Amino acid sequence: MWALCAFVTAQEAAVEMTVSSTSVTQGDMLRLTLTFVNCKVKEIEPPQIKGLEWRMGPSTSTSTQWINGVTTSEQSYTYGYTVTAGNELQIPSFSWRTNKGLQKSNSVRVMVEANDGKAAKQRPSGQKTRSVQRDLVTAIEPNKRTVYLGEPLVLTYRIYNRYNNLDVRNYDIPELEGFWKETVDAPEARWEPQLINGKRYNVATVRQVVAFPQQTGTFVLEDFNLKGYHRINFFEGRDVQATCDPVEITVLPIPENAPSNSLGTFANLAVQQTLSSDSVSTNEAITVEVSFRGNGNLKFLREPKLAWPAEFEVFDAEIKDNISVSARGESGKRTFKFVAIPRAPGDYTLPPFEAVSFDPLTASHVTSRAPGLRLHVRKGQGDSSTPGMTFTHQQEVQVLNQDVRHIATTPSRFQPRSRPSWTPWAWGVAFAASPLSFLGLALVRRRRIQELADATGTRRKRALRQLQRSLKSSDALTIETIGEAMEQYLMAKLGWERSQLTREAVKQHLTVKDQALAEQWDAFWEACEMQRYGASQGNLDALAQTLLTLGETTEFRWS
């Protein structure tokens, strides 16, 4: 900004001293201009100024104006200096010898910032100062660069312009990926002068947005581009473009110990619960309002789950918003208005309502509690329900949570993965048992059939067994039993009938086959006769044993 240090009338002679900037950094170039109005200097040298080191000049210019018969002439001398002072710089007034006599220039005060880097950091608008160094530039200016998930972030889109005649053709507001945004209502953008780094800029705020980050991480905001036309004069002009420096926004996650019922990120969230009346009749509607007040995206709040008594019929909540979006963020109140109708008399209590949220100001989870509500419901007039009758309004059972079924505690049989080596053999035997049994039975049956077909042969085969059975089965052994057993054996063995069986016939028949055997049988027959018809009784057991032995000998020799 050009500093105007003196004011003179057109007719009066004067010397004006101006500087290119009244706020400079140590080491910057400062232009100092001496303007001789309505006078001419006779001799001029670069002014020696403490804190400034002369570098160049002078460059001169002369102009003459004639307005309403009054002539004003100006002669300017511009010098270039390097600022060496580290603090405030006071350019004193100088006396100049002119054709209109000795004229005195004004003094100028210049603020100098030390060039040690530290000062730049202390500047609140350091980023802005760095970015605004060109004649036309756009900028995205966040109110903070590190936010928590869901914490509101105000983004201001500005255009900095040093051109006198600039037509802004269009500009692109970039999309905000990963953010929910609300646009701040603002009047139409207009240029406002602003001094930045000692330069005068026209600044226009084209949009303000309240952004709510929905993802964690680092986001780069850029591509706020502008296209315009700089009109140099009536005939000349050129297209100009501007873009903004990227702005990094870091979104931090909410600390992991967030309660499961957390509503999100809100600053100073307060919850309130009100009841329209604390005493009503049955079937008379009541209104319960649950209000959330605070800063943050209140539009994200969903209908709260209230613990209604089962005797209440509750309708869907009506939402009332009083939310303002401004350059300070989003704040206000969201109210959920429930209409409920108690259907049965009694005293009811709505439990306290708790709202848990993450407060980015304290970086902690905070709980706001609304006290419980008490309601007395009288029996209404015309209510036909009898005393003690309970409310029969039914509703579907609400599934609140899901979990796996409980473990099985009664064990079934444990099946070893490695079975004993004998197991396959055991199963093999089990499976082979039935066909083997079948085979055995078949053989037995076949044998039986064969025996039935050959009665004589079968009788012969079983002669000894029959003999043994006869001798063992008799309780009291007598000579008749022994004799009958002998005859039965011989008949079976020889295949004879009883009529054929005589002692002589047996002897003759056996003599042909076995002489010794024939004699033994004949001796035994005789012994039996002696026993039966003799005077004395012999040893019957020995006789029976002899018969058995004789039978076994016969079986052995005839087989």
Partner 1 sequence: MMVKNSRLLILLGWLALPWVGLSQPDVDFQRANQAYESGNYEEALGQYEDILATHRHFESEFNAGNAAFKLNRLGLARLHYERAKLLSPSDEHLKANLALLESNIVDRITAVPSLGLKSWLASWVGPGQWLNWTLWALFWWTLMWVLWGLRWTKKNRDSRATLGFLGMASLALGVTGFWGISKCYERMETPGQVVVMSARVDVTSAPVESGTVLFQLHEGTRACILDRTEGWTEIELDNGNVGWLPDDAIADV
* Binding-site ranges for partner 1 (CB under 8 A): 402-418, 420, 427, 430-431, 433-435, 437-438, 441-442, 445
Q: CB 453 → partner 1: shortest distance, Å?
A: 16
Q: CB 410 → partner 1: shortest distance, Å?
A: 7
Yes or no: say if 303 and 336 are a contact pair by the CB < 8 Å rule: yes
β pairing state of 153-161 and 217-221:
unpaired
| 3 state SS of 187 | coil
Considering the complex, state which of residue 395 and residue 418 has its C-beta at the smaller distance from partner 1. Answer: 418
Q: CB 260 → partner 1: shortest distance, Å?
A: 15
Considering the complex, state which of residue 392 and residue 401 has its C-beta at the smaller distance from partner 1. Answer: 401
Q: CB 405 → partner 1: shortest distance, Å?
A: 4
Yes or no: say if 290 and 314 are a contact pair by the CB < 8 Å rule: no
| 3 state SS of 1 | coil
Considering the complex, state which of residue 446 and residue 462 has its C-beta at the smaller distance from partner 1. Answer: 446
The tokens for 244 are 């903004």
Q: CB 398 → partner 1: shortest distance, Å?
A: 17
Q: Which of 85, 86, 15 is nearest to 44 (CA)?
A: 15
Considering the complex, state which of residue 433 and residue 523 has its C-beta at the smaller distance from partner 1. Answer: 433
Q: Which of 174, 179, 177 is nearest to 206 (CA)?
A: 174
Q: CB 442 → partner 1: shortest distance, Å?
A: 7
CA-to-CA dists, residue 114 to 85, 88, 433, angstroms: 8, 10, 111
Considering the complex, state which of residue 436 and residue 523 has its C-beta at the smaller distance from partner 1. Answer: 436
The tokens for 74 are 């100006």
Yes or no: say if 265 and 148 are a contact pair by the CB < 8 Å rule: yes
Q: Kindly give, in sequence order, each residue whose CB lies less than 8 Å from that of residue 25, ignoring residues fewer than 6 positions away.
A: 83, 112, 113, 114, 115
Considering the complex, state which of residue 398 and residue 434 has its C-beta at the smaller distance from partner 1. Answer: 434
Q: Which of 243, 183, 253, 244 is nearest to 218 (CA)?
A: 253
Neighbours of 114 (CB within 10 A): 14
Q: Which of 84, 88, 89 is nearest to 29 (CA)?
A: 84
Considering the complex, state which of residue 387 and residue 416 has its C-beta at the smaller distance from partner 1. Answer: 416
Q: CB 473 → partner 1: shortest distance, Å?
A: 30
Q: CB 439 → partner 1: shortest distance, Å?
A: 9
Residue with tokens 């035994």: 524
Q: How far apart are CA 275 and CA 352, in angstroms?
A: 12
Q: CB 189 → partner 1: shortest distance, Å?
A: 48
Considering the complex, state which of residue 429 and residue 455 has its C-beta at the smaller distance from partner 1. Answer: 429
Q: Which of 101, 23, 91 is nearest to 52 (CA)?
A: 91
Q: CB 437 → partner 1: shortest distance, Å?
A: 7
Considering the complex, state which of residue 367 and residue 437 has its C-beta at the smaller distance from partner 1. Answer: 437
Alpha-carbon dihedral 484, 486, 492, 496, rounded to 10 degrees: -80
The answer to whether the peptide bond before residue 58 is cis (omega within 30 degrees of 0) is yes
Neighbours of 384 (CB within 10 A): 5
C-alpha radius of gyration, the chain, whole number: 64
Yes or no: say if 456 and 495 are a contact pair by the CB < 8 Å rule: yes
Considering the complex, state which of residue 102 and residue 408 has its C-beta at the smaller distance from partner 1. Answer: 408
Can you point out the beta strands (E) in 114-216?
Answer: 136-142, 146-148, 153-161, 166-172, 179-183, 192-196, 199-213
Q: CB 433 → partner 1: shortest distance, Å?
A: 7
Q: CB 406 → partner 1: shortest distance, Å?
A: 8
Considering the complex, state which of residue 452 and residue 535 has its C-beta at the smaller distance from partner 1. Answer: 452
Considering the complex, state which of residue 121 and residue 417 has its C-beta at the smaller distance from partner 1. Answer: 417
